[in-house]
Chains A and B, each alone.
Chain A
Amino acid sequence: MDIGDQKRAHESFATGRRDLEQLIDAFPALVWVSRPDGFADFLNRRWFSYTGMSEEQSVGRGWSVAVHPDDRGSLLGCWEALLATGVSGETEARLRRADGEYRWFLFRGEPVRDASGSVSGWLTSNIDIDDNKRATETLTRAERELRITLDTIPALVATATPDGRVDFVNAQWSREGFSPTDAGDEDKLIHPEDLLALKGKRRNSIATGEPYQVEARLRKANGQYQWCLVSAVILRDETGEIVKRYSVTTDIDARKRADELLRASELELRRLVDTIPTLIWSVTPEGEPDYVSKRMAAYYGRAVDYTAPPFNSTRLFRALSALLHPDDLHDVHQRLLQCMGTGDPFTMCYRNRRFDGVYRWVEARAEPLRDNMGRVVKWYGVTTDIDDQKRAEEALRASEQELRQLVDAVPTLIYAVDANGEPAYMNERIQAYYGVTLDDLIEVDGSRVRGAVKMRVHPADQSAVAEGLLRSYATGAPFAMQYRNYRADGALRWVESRVEPLRDEKGDVLRWYGVVIDIDDQKTAEDALRASEARFRTFVDHATDAFFLMDDQANILDVNREACASLGYSREELIGMRPRDFDASLEEASIERLMQRVSAGETITFETRHRRKEGSVFPVEIRASQFEQGGRRYHLTAVRDIADRKKAEDALKQRDAKIVRLVESNIIGIYFWEADGRILDANDEFLRIVGYDREDLIAGRLSWIEISPQEWRDRIPAQLTELRRTRVVKPYEKDYVRKDGARVTVLIYDSSFDDTAKLGVCFALDLTERKRVEEDMRAMRAELARANRVATMGQLSASIAHELNQPLAAVIANGNACQRWLSADPPNLKRAQATLERIVRDANDAADIISRTRTLFRPATSVRAPINVNEVVAEVRALVIDEMILQGVSFDTDLDPLLPAVSADRVQIQQVLVNLLRNAMDAMRSNGDEPKSISVRTGRNETGPILIEVRDNGPGFEEPKQIFEPFFTTKESGMGMGLAICRSIAQSHGGEISARNGAPRGALFSFSLPLQPGDLA
């Protein structure tokens, strides 16, 4: 090649290159141009704008800096390889954008060859494939996830190409132990029997485009076949070409086996049902006949022909019309449809045609079978041939008719009630008797039988009759009762009613027949008899004696109620017993003897003792006699419980003994008198009192009038009068003149036996001794009082003496000492002087004591102020009331509200009152049973002094004059100073105090308090 050419060539190249570079700049990609050795010497604008690099940075191999470091190596390697081989090539790598983000680019190097074919340079284009790349990656990920999903599905999933080659299986295959190739080998995988069906379905699916499902037995890795459901879809492209087949194979072996089991059990059931000698059938809820048992088929003589006309009706109607009597067809069909609509059980009797063409009565029953949700799944029916029964019933009805005519002719009241208790029939007689027909019976409480009862039965018997009847109907037991009812004419009559059931051969009640018999006449007679019997029985039963009716062998035949009550046995127990069974005293032999006497016609009475059932024994009196009746001899024994009589007798005896003891005890004189003076009897004490002896008494020498002194005899008539009136006179004291002429004082208690006062008893208590004792007591009390006075004086003087002796002893001792001090040598004058001083002091002490003692007896100077005496009484009452209550003393006051105030020493007046009240209480200590009472009265005689009176009901006193003397006392521990002080207080107030005996008893102190000159009257 010459230079010129070369130059031209070069020039043309240079020209071309410039053009090219301009073109390249416009190119919508990153492009650069390299020399044959790969040195990039031109990069287009897009490169710089994308990478943000400069030309200096990019030329040569500088562009590789923009390549992602991970991709750079492989990209450069690829580039060198291209350069070396001179062929075009491409690779992907990430290229950094100006903002730093890497994007995927397709690097493509294309050699540029000159005419000689040698490489003159390289054109490299970088196309942004990032979006594309990312989309692909997303797709790949989705595919991977899908695969994982498919692998996780517990079913065998496979895809196949249109030519049948399996191109994908999921992991389940290997999990189940299949090898990857197994999925394509259908001949080996599918049971030969199912293979054909599978292939047929698939062909069909390919033809129609429908998905298909096949149940097939799949040979598992272990060689066993298991039932599977193969579901497949044929996928086509838009042109309709088959692209792929997807299949999913699910294990349904368990379900399949359960189905088979179910089918087997169903089959068994059906076989069972077929062997049952009943006609059994079923109908679907929609009314489709579903099943008839073999028996049924045999009964009808053929498989049920559903094809019979009218052909446009349902299969059910067709079946029914083939089997039923035309007259019943419509009703049965309607009823069946109705039941199916409502779900109610179906029951019906109708005629159907047996295999031999005979119509027979059947009873059909159908019940719905419901599932858990309560939906009807199926209707099961049973049909029973009841033709024979039906005929029997009809025959019966006919004979009944006949019977009814017969019954109506019978002169008895007859009626019938059906098995349900519904009145069914009344014969003419009963209608005439009650004036009621069957149609007249109304329902009462849901029962016409009750209605009938209500209409005609006596109200008192209604409930018993109605309940009895209904109970019979319910239980099947016969009924029989006597009761009162009303006849048509309104007469109340006793009837006897009987009801018996009529039963069929099975024992079920078909009908109740009732007979009513008017027994009123008979009843009236019976009642009369019964009443008479009852009266007699009552009479015997109410007898207070126990009656025993015995035969002549002493066996008890009957007893009355008292016999049962007294012995504690029941009547039933006693009947058949013998007297020895409860006789506690008599031996068999004695009873025998007694029986013989009775048998001889004697009425005997004897006492013995009977033993009660519980073992206690009581005395009885028995009267036994014999009588004859109807040629037999009976013993009638009346037994009387004499325990009370015995007791009364004993009590009487005891009382007599007590009285005798009383009379003979001679504590008190007792005599029985007559009004004329005679003494009928007297005890020893009385004889002793009056000094007579018993001989005088017996001889009648003792007259109660004569032994009364003359002054008493005058009172006798008056006393007798009082005795007649009151039967008793108040006890009184009187004297009797003793036989020796002396007088004796007695206390008399007199009493007459009756109003006439002709006879009586008198108790005389000898008072001689008591009088003497009283006398002694009085003397003794006086002596005691004297002794007390002496003792009190002694006590007082002793206490004064003690007080005085102390200083006196000191005086004497000191006197002695003084003597000693003075007579000493030399005389101890100092001590003598001191001693003398003591003597004077102690002697003065003694003088003081004496003067103090005197003041004890002298009222101190008193303070006078106007006082209300009533208030003072109230104050004192408060002071002593507790003590009074303690001693059982009642205290009352009678205060004059108009008393003027009086000047007095309040304390001294109180002192006087307290003193008087205390004395009264002390005095009443000896009252014994006599009630203790104190009363205080205040008052004033016109302008006179105020008076205070204190009254008690104690014993009073014997010497009212002396009691105010000092040291006079009647109390054991008294000083005898109280009343003396009272008197001195009274006197210091210008008043007086006096005492006297009250009437009938007690003491009365009167204390006068004159008004002072300053007081307001």
Chain B
Amino acid sequence: MTTDPDQIVLIVDDDSRICAALENLLASKGFSSLSFPSIAAYTQFHRPDLPACLILDVQLPDISGLEFQDRADDFHPPIVFITGHGDIPSSVLAIKRGAINFLTKPFSETELMDSVQAAIDRDRVRRQERAQMSALMKLHRTLTSREREVLPLIVAGLLNKQAAAELGISEVTLQIHRGKIMQKMEADSLADLVRLAERLQIPIVHGRRKREQAQ
């Protein structure tokens, strides 16, 4: 079985026996892995830009695993905790903060492998989402400032006439803006544009206000 170069499992445990056993097990399952004896060693390591999972011991010589989890940023891969003797408050805390699982040693192979797989999958999805979002934002940045004013009015469902009146421009001009926006945002339809705008979290206050005024 060859290891999958598209993903990696990272291990932090001060017990070298555990590190070795985990690497061995993961290797037998076709995962490439890297282990570190402490958080300090781990943070010094430059993480490869791959979907990843961190198997983290709770009790560590420098800082505890839970503490590290609290400090980790949004881009950190999902964490699977392992502990010598787990207590309920710690496990609840870890899961609440988004840990994939909280395993007590000795843990079953299935549990561990399922958790590791789930973590890597989640990381992969998150990475894709982040990539899409950044592409979308890139498109949005190509809009002129006037177009950025027009966009919320369109996605709010205003008619061209209404949107033009709102901005004090002619309907024709607005239509030109609208075309440009569709083109620049690579939207196939208005619905498509609305979905993109939603992902960009563009507010749609104008439309609502207009309706309120109409009432």
Given the interface pairs A813-B24, A813-B25, the reply to whether A806 lies near B85 with Cβ below 8 Å is no
List of B residues within 8 angstroms of A335 by Cβ: none
| Size bracket of the B interface | 20 to 34
Would B106 and A835 count as touching, CB distance under 8 A? no
Is A583 engaged at the interface, CB distance under 8 Å to the other chain?
Answer: no
**Of residues A810, A831, A834, A835, which shows the largest number of chain B Cβ atoms within 10 Å of its Cβ?**
A810
List of B residues within 8 angstroms of A805 by Cβ: 84-85, 104-106
List of B residues within 8 angstroms of A809 by Cβ: 18, 21, 82, 84, 105-107
Given the interface pairs A806-B105, A813-B109, A845-B17, the reply to whether A801 lies near B25 with Cβ below 8 Å is no
Would A798 and B85 count as touching, CB distance under 8 A? yes
Is B22 engaged at the interface, CB distance under 8 Å to the other chain?
Answer: yes
Is B195 engaged at the interface, CB distance under 8 Å to the other chain?
Answer: no
CA distance A811 to B109 in the complex (A): 11
List of B residues within 8 angstroms of A812 by Cβ: 106-109
Would you call the interface of chain A mostly helix, strand, loop, or mixed?
Answer: helix
Is A653 engaged at the interface, CB distance under 8 Å to the other chain?
Answer: no
List of A residues within 8 angstroms of B106 by Cβ: 805, 808-809, 811-813
Per-residue CB proximity of B81-96 to A under 8 Å, as 1/0?
0101100000000000
CA distance A243 to B29 in the complex (A): 170
B25 touches which of A798, A816, A828 (Cβ 8 Å):
A816
Residue of A with least CB distance to B24: A817
B21 touches which of A802, A814, A821, A828 (Cβ 8 Å):
A814
Residue of A with least CB distance to B106: A809
Residue of A with least CB distance to B110: A816
**Of residues B29, B85, B105, B107, which shows the largest number of chain A Cβ atoms within 10 Å of its Cβ?**
B105
Is A397 engaged at the interface, CB distance under 8 Å to the other chain?
Answer: no
Q: How many residues of A contact B (CB 8 A)?
A: 26
Would A802 and B109 count as touching, CB distance under 8 A? no
CA distance A811 to B15 in the complex (A): 13
Would A814 and B105 count as touching, CB distance under 8 A? no
Smallest beta-carbon distance A549→chain B, Å? 95
**Of residues B20, B21, B27, which shows the largest number of chain A Cβ atoms within 10 Å of its Cβ?**
B21
Is B28 engaged at the interface, CB distance under 8 Å to the other chain?
Answer: yes
**Of residues A798, A816, A835, A838, which shows the largest number of chain B Cβ atoms within 10 Å of its Cβ?**
A816
Residue of B with least CB distance to A841: B17
List of B residues within 8 angstroms of A814 by Cβ: 21, 24-25
List of B residues within 8 angstroms of A684 by Cβ: none
**Of residues B1, B25, B28, B107, which shows the largest number of chain A Cβ atoms within 10 Å of its Cβ?**
B28
Which residues of chain B (3-27) have a CB below 8 Å from chain A? 15, 17-18, 20-22, 24-25, 27
Per-residue CB proximity of A125-166 to B under 8 Å, as 1/0?
000000000000000000000000000000000000000000
Which residues of chain A (799-833) have a CB below 8 Å from chain B? 801-802, 805-814, 816-817, 820-821, 824, 828, 831
Would B21 and A820 count as touching, CB distance under 8 A? no
Is A641 engaged at the interface, CB distance under 8 Å to the other chain?
Answer: no
Would A817 and B84 count as touching, CB distance under 8 A? no
Would B28 and A820 count as touching, CB distance under 8 A? yes
CA distance A825 to B29 in the complex (A): 13
Smallest beta-carbon distance B59→chain A, Å? 8
Per-residue CB proximity of B146-179 to A under 8 Å, as 1/0?
0000000000000000000000000000000000
Would B109 and A810 count as touching, CB distance under 8 A? no
Smallest beta-carbon distance A839→chain B, Å? 9
Is A545 engaged at the interface, CB distance under 8 Å to the other chain?
Answer: no
CA distance A808 to B21 in the complex (A): 11
CA distance A816 to B85 in the complex (A): 21
Is A735 engaged at the interface, CB distance under 8 Å to the other chain?
Answer: no
Is A562 engaged at the interface, CB distance under 8 Å to the other chain?
Answer: no
CA distance A670 to B163 in the complex (A): 92
B29 touches which of A807, A820, A831 (Cβ 8 Å):
A820
Smallest beta-carbon distance B77→chain A, Å? 21
List of B residues within 8 angstroms of A798 by Cβ: 85
Is A842 engaged at the interface, CB distance under 8 Å to the other chain?
Answer: yes
List of B residues within 8 angstroms of A811 by Cβ: 21, 106
List of B residues within 8 angstroms of A821 by Cβ: 28
A820 touches which of B15, B25, B104, B112 (Cβ 8 Å):
B25
Given the interface pairs A805-B84, A808-B105, the reply to whether A838 lies near B17 with Cβ below 8 Å is yes
Per-residue CB proximity of A950-975 to B under 8 Å, as 1/0?
00000000000000000000000000
Would B1 and A824 count as touching, CB distance under 8 A? yes
CA distance A565 to B151 in the complex (A): 101
Which residues of chain B (58-76) have a CB below 8 Å from chain A? none
CA distance A813 to B24 in the complex (A): 8
Would A813 and B29 count as touching, CB distance under 8 A? no
Residue of A with least CB distance to B19: A810
Would A810 and B18 count as touching, CB distance under 8 A? yes
CA distance A814 to B106 in the complex (A): 11
CA distance A240 to B105 in the complex (A): 169
Would B84 and A806 count as touching, CB distance under 8 A? yes
List of A residues within 8 angstroms of B107 by Cβ: 809, 812-813
CA distance A807 to B18 in the complex (A): 8
Would B21 and A842 count as touching, CB distance under 8 A? yes
Which residues of chain A (18-42) have a CB below 8 Å from chain B? none
Smallest beta-carbon distance A570→chain B, Å? 87
Would A802 and B84 count as touching, CB distance under 8 A? yes
Which residues of chain B (23-59) have a CB below 8 Å from chain A? 24-25, 27-29
List of B residues within 8 angstroms of A838 by Cβ: 17, 20-21, 24
Residue of A with least CB distance to B30: A820
Given the interface pairs A805-B85, A806-B84, A831-B28, the reply to whether A817 lies near B21 with Cβ below 8 Å is yes
Would A806 and B15 count as touching, CB distance under 8 A? yes
Which residues of chain A (842-867) have a CB below 8 Å from chain B? 842, 845
Smallest beta-carbon distance B91→chain A, Å? 15
Given the interface pairs A798-B85, A831-B24, the reply to whether A842 lies near B29 with Cβ below 8 Å is no
Which residues of chain A (777-814) have a CB below 8 Å from chain B? 798, 801-802, 805-814
**Of residues B106, B109, B112, which shows the largest number of chain A Cβ atoms within 10 Å of its Cβ?**
B106
Would B27 and A817 count as touching, CB distance under 8 A? yes
Residue of A with least CB distance to B113: A816
**Of residues B1, B25, B112, which shows the largest number of chain A Cβ atoms within 10 Å of its Cβ?**
B25
CA distance A802 to B25 in the complex (A): 21
List of A residues within 8 angstroms of B108 by Cβ: 812
Smallest beta-carbon distance A902→chain B, Å? 45
Smallest beta-carbon distance A842→chain B, Å? 5
Residue of A with least CB distance to B57: A806
CA distance A811 to B108 in the complex (A): 11
CA distance A834 to B28 in the complex (A): 13
Given the interface pairs A820-B29, A831-B28, the reply to whether A813 lies near B84 with Cβ below 8 Å is no
**Of residues B20, B22, B27, B82, which shows the largest number of chain A Cβ atoms within 10 Å of its Cβ?**
B20
CA distance A810 to B27 in the complex (A): 15
Residue of B with least CB distance to A801: B85
Residue of B with least CB distance to A799: B85
A807 touches which of B17, B82, B104 (Cβ 8 Å):
B17
CA distance A801 to B18 in the complex (A): 16
A813 touches which of B1, B21, B85, B104 (Cβ 8 Å):
B21
Smallest beta-carbon distance A821→chain B, Å? 5
Would A842 and B17 count as touching, CB distance under 8 A? yes
CA distance A844 to B17 in the complex (A): 12
List of B residues within 8 angstroms of A831 by Cβ: 24, 27-28
CA distance A824 to B20 in the complex (A): 20
CA distance A915 to B193 in the complex (A): 79
Residue of B with least CB distance to A802: B84
Smallest beta-carbon distance B113→chain A, Å? 9
Per-residue CB proximity of B105-127 to A under 8 Å, as 1/0?
11111001000000000000000
Cross-chain pairs A/B with CB under 8 angstroms, 14 sampled: A802-B85, A805-B104, A805-B105, A806-B17, A806-B84, A808-B106, A809-B82, A809-B84, A812-B107, A812-B109, A813-B21, A813-B22, A814-B24, A838-B24
Top 6 A-B pairs, shortest CB-CB distance: A809-B105, A820-B28, A813-B21, A809-B106, A816-B109, A802-B84
- 16 additional A-B residue pairs with CB within 8 Å, beyond A813-B112, A821-B28, A835-B24: A801-B84, A801-B85, A805-B84, A807-B17, A809-B82, A809-B107, A811-B21, A813-B21, A813-B107, A813-B109, A814-B21, A824-B1, A824-B28, A831-B24, A838-B17, A841-B17
